[in-house]
Amino acid sequence: MTLHLIVGGMRSGKSAQAQRLAAASGCEVVVIATALAADDEMRARIARHRADRPAHWRSVDLPHAPLALASAVEAESRAGRCLLIDCLTLWITQVLAPPPGHAPLDAQAEVQALLAALPRCAGPVIAVGNEIGLGVVPMDAVSRRVVDVQGRLHQQLAAQADRVSLMVAGLPVAVKGPAA
């Protein structure tokens, strides 16, 4: 298993870079999409992301359920298959502050399950997340918790990762491992 973590700000080119790398992997690609289609705006974003990907790539849309991401990673991993997880930030946000009608999940259990599942992957994994800790301190407790959990998740994933890239204005900057 190789793990490539791609982080950056909103509209920095993270998803496009992840898609380029997945396409270049020579593997079958499965996208593990974490966004819940809870409103019209999010449904439009999801549709745009799907339209940007090759039609032959399969997408797995995560349900809002305990350990769904770790379970999907374990179920979908195969030799010769690249998993593209997009996006860790939406996933953690939905774990801690889900849309109406969904209960919060145990963030620590979710993160630990993901961290345990990734090293068992048989093929490459590309994970995308927003670098949200560079801005101002959020005003409310839930937002601060999301930033805290996301920051720790990125640190733990970066420690496991073979490569980490920071996207800046559409350009990858190598943080760990070879340049992307």
How much is the CA Rg of the chain, to the nearest whole Å? Answer: 15
Q: What residues have CB less than 8 Å from 100, skipping those under 6 apart?
A: 38
Q: Over the stretch 39-87, which tens digit does the pLDDT of each residue have? A: 899 899 899 889 989 999 999 999 999 999 999 999 999 999 999 999 9
Query: For position 180, what pLDDT does the model report?
Result: 60
Nearest Cα to Cα of residue 103 among 36, 33, 31: 36
CA distance 5 to 127: 5
- Other C-beta atoms closer than 10 Å to the C-beta of 141 total 8
Residue 87: beta bridge partners?
none
Each residue of 77-126: pLDDT tens digit? 999 999 999 999 999 999 999 988 899 999 999 999 999 999 999 999 99
Element (H, E) at 39: none
Q: Is the pLDDT of residue 1 over 80?
A: no
Give pTM, 2 decimals.
0.94
Catalytic residue among 4, 49, 56, 102: 49
Q: In the prediction, which pLDDT does 179 show?
A: 67
Compute the distance between CA of residue 98 and CA of residue 127 in angstroms, rounded to an integer: 21
Output the pLDDT for position 103.
93
Residues 92 and 39 sit within 8 Å (Cβ to Cβ): no
Is 3-176 assigned to CATH 3.40.50.300?
Answer: yes
Q: Is 49 a catalytic residue?
A: yes
